[in-house]
Amino acid sequence: MVKVNLRPKSEELKEAKEIVREGLARAEEELDKEEDYTVELGWTESEFEKEHMGGAAGKCHSANRIELKFNTEPDNWRDSLLANTVHEFGHSWHFEQRNGLTEKRWQYVIDEAITQNLAEQLVPEFESPWREKHSIEDISEYWPEIKQKLDETWEEMGHPDPVYISDGEKYPNWLGYSLSYQIGQKLQENYGLKEFPELEKGGGFLDEYST
């Protein structure tokens, strides 16, 4: 007789919900949201997510919809889920501020700058696998080319953006996440995370940035 392994188990889901609530509470204390939103929570059996991402991953579809998934096999799955919750909340908040999803690469650079740095600040216990995956020296090698393509739209650059998620043929995988993190670090010398969306309105603020 075929056996069915239905996951997450009730106790796993209960604990995961508590972790997500904690992550949202931390994020909402830092960034104010005005619109209601839904968080979808489910299970993942992805070997990549278990091996390389601490057993949790997420996606923000809009200002009003966040998707999170987890697996309890990795030892640090709790911290990973907590960090991913904060990360995706950051996307949701940013989309609300700009009244929609990002449209060009430079806007996405700022989007990820917000989420990477927000997660680091609020969940320091989780060492992100992508935030510092690539050094400033690594980024500097590709920045001149990327800088010329900051105005590309999603239609032009493709989805996912190869600067961020790649098979390694053109850019190292996760390069963009490290790039956004470093840009966010630099911008925070003069601006708070809450001010990042305001920078978008003028545009061109990345022109002078150098790694």
* Percentage, residues of the chain above pLDDT 70: 95
Q: Residue 205 has what pLDDT?
A: 57
Q: Which of 79, 78, 69, 54 is nearest to 7 (CA)?
A: 69
- Domain locations in the chain as residue ranges: 8-101, 102-211
Please give the average per-residue pLDDT across 173-194, as a whole number.
Answer: 93
Q: Residue 203 has what pLDDT?
A: 55
Q: Residue 208 has what pLDDT?
A: 54
CB atoms within 10 A of CB 45: 11
Q: How far apart are CA 29 and CA 135, in angstroms?
A: 31
pTM higher than the cut 0.85:
yes
| 8 Å CB contact between 41 and 16 | yes
Please name the residue ranges forming H helices in 71-210: 77-97, 105-122, 136-147, 154-157, 175-187, 196-202
Residue 133 scores a pLDDT above 60: yes
Please give the average per-residue pLDDT across 136-142, as a whole number.
Answer: 93
Cis peptide before 8 (omega within 30 of 0): yes
Please give the average per-residue pLDDT across 180-197, as a whole number.
Answer: 93
Q: Give 70's DSSP letter.
A: E
Q: Residue 201 has what pLDDT?
A: 60
Q: Which of 104, 115, 85, 86 is nearest to 196 (CA)?
A: 115
Q: Residue 187 has what pLDDT?
A: 92
Distance of CA 164 to the CA centre of its chain: 11
148: its two tokens: 């010329």
pLDDT tens for residues 9-43? 999 999 999 999 999 999 999 999 999 999 999 99
Please give the average per-residue pLDDT across 108-114, as a whole number.
Answer: 95
Q: How far apart are CA 208 and CA 210, in angstroms?
A: 6
Residue 202 scores a pLDDT above 60: no
